[in-house]
Amino acid sequence: MLGMSTRGQVRVYLSSAAKKQVDQMSTQIGISHTELLSRICEWFAVQPKGERLRMLGILTENEDVVSSKASAPKNEVA
Protein backbone atom coordinates (compact mmCIF):
# COMPACT_ATOMS: atom_id res chain seq x y z
CA MET A 1 0.00 0.00 0.00
CA LEU A 2 2.81 2.33 -0.84
CA GLY A 3 1.57 5.89 -0.95
CA MET A 4 -1.90 5.00 0.28
CA SER A 5 -3.27 6.26 3.56
CA THR A 6 -4.24 3.63 6.10
CA ARG A 7 -6.66 6.03 7.73
CA GLY A 8 -10.24 6.71 6.74
CA GLN A 9 -13.05 9.09 7.40
CA VAL A 10 -16.51 8.32 8.73
CA ARG A 11 -19.40 10.74 9.03
CA VAL A 12 -21.23 10.46 12.34
CA TYR A 13 -24.79 11.62 12.93
CA LEU A 14 -25.54 12.23 16.60
CA SER A 15 -28.72 12.92 18.50
CA SER A 16 -28.82 16.35 20.09
CA ALA A 17 -28.20 14.78 23.52
CA ALA A 18 -25.15 12.87 22.25
CA LYS A 19 -23.84 15.99 20.47
CA LYS A 20 -24.17 17.96 23.71
CA GLN A 21 -22.13 15.32 25.57
CA VAL A 22 -19.44 15.33 22.85
CA ASP A 23 -19.32 19.14 22.99
CA GLN A 24 -18.99 19.14 26.77
CA MET A 25 -16.32 16.44 26.88
CA SER A 26 -14.21 17.91 24.09
CA THR A 27 -14.32 21.33 25.77
CA GLN A 28 -13.57 19.86 29.19
CA ILE A 29 -10.47 17.95 28.07
CA GLY A 30 -9.40 20.44 25.42
CA ILE A 31 -9.47 18.37 22.25
CA SER A 32 -11.48 18.65 19.03
CA HIS A 33 -14.65 16.69 18.33
CA THR A 34 -12.75 14.80 15.65
CA GLU A 35 -9.98 13.78 18.03
CA LEU A 36 -12.44 12.74 20.75
CA LEU A 37 -14.52 10.59 18.40
CA SER A 38 -11.36 9.14 16.83
CA ARG A 39 -10.13 8.05 20.26
CA ILE A 40 -13.50 6.49 21.07
CA CYS A 41 -13.53 4.59 17.76
CA GLU A 42 -9.92 3.44 18.22
CA TRP A 43 -10.79 2.17 21.70
CA PHE A 44 -13.91 0.40 20.40
CA ALA A 45 -11.96 -1.26 17.58
CA VAL A 46 -9.54 -3.00 19.96
CA GLN A 47 -12.23 -4.43 22.24
CA PRO A 48 -12.91 -8.17 21.97
CA LYS A 49 -15.62 -9.04 19.45
CA GLY A 50 -18.05 -10.18 22.15
CA GLU A 51 -17.67 -6.91 24.05
CA ARG A 52 -18.26 -4.85 20.90
CA LEU A 53 -21.43 -6.84 20.18
CA ARG A 54 -22.62 -6.34 23.77
CA MET A 55 -21.99 -2.59 23.56
CA LEU A 56 -24.12 -2.47 20.41
CA GLY A 57 -26.91 -4.45 22.06
CA ILE A 58 -26.50 -7.43 19.75
CA LEU A 59 -25.53 -9.78 22.61
CA THR A 60 -26.79 -9.80 26.17
CA GLU A 61 -24.50 -9.99 29.19
CA ASN A 62 -25.02 -13.76 29.45
CA GLU A 63 -24.47 -14.62 25.77
CA ASP A 64 -21.17 -15.27 24.12
CA VAL A 65 -20.21 -14.97 20.47
CA VAL A 66 -19.94 -18.73 19.85
CA SER A 67 -23.25 -19.82 21.38
CA SER A 68 -25.34 -16.85 20.30
CA LYS A 69 -27.61 -16.92 17.29
CA ALA A 70 -27.16 -13.15 17.13
CA SER A 71 -25.02 -12.09 14.24
CA ALA A 72 -23.17 -8.89 13.59
CA PRO A 73 -23.66 -6.93 10.39
CA LYS A 74 -21.79 -8.36 7.40
CA ASN A 75 -19.47 -5.37 7.23
CA GLU A 76 -18.32 -5.90 10.83
CA VAL A 77 -14.65 -5.33 11.57
CA ALA A 78 -13.18 -8.36 13.32
Q: Is residue 68 part of a domain?
A: no
Amino acid at site 50: G
pLDDT for the residue numbered 43: 95
Cα 78 to chain center, whole Å? Answer: 13
Q: Which domain holds residue 23?
A: 16-55
Q: Is residue 78 part of a domain?
A: no
Q: Is residue 30 part of a domain?
A: yes
Total of domains in the chain: 1
What's the Cα-to-Cα distance from 77 to each of 16, 52, 53, rounded to whole Å?
27, 10, 11
Each residue of 18-72: pLDDT tens digit?
A: 999 999 999 999 999 999 999 999 999 999 999 999 999 998 877 777 655 555 5
Q: Is residue 75 part of a domain?
A: no
Flag whether pLDDT at 1 surpasses 70.
Answer: no
Confidence of residue 10 (pLDDT cuts 50, 70, 90): confident
Q: Is residue 67 part of a domain?
A: no
Output the pTM of the full model.
Answer: 0.68
Phi and psi at residue 77, to the nearest 5°:
-90, 125
Q: Is residue 22 part of a domain?
A: yes
Q: Is residue 71 part of a domain?
A: no
Q: Is residue 10 part of a domain?
A: no
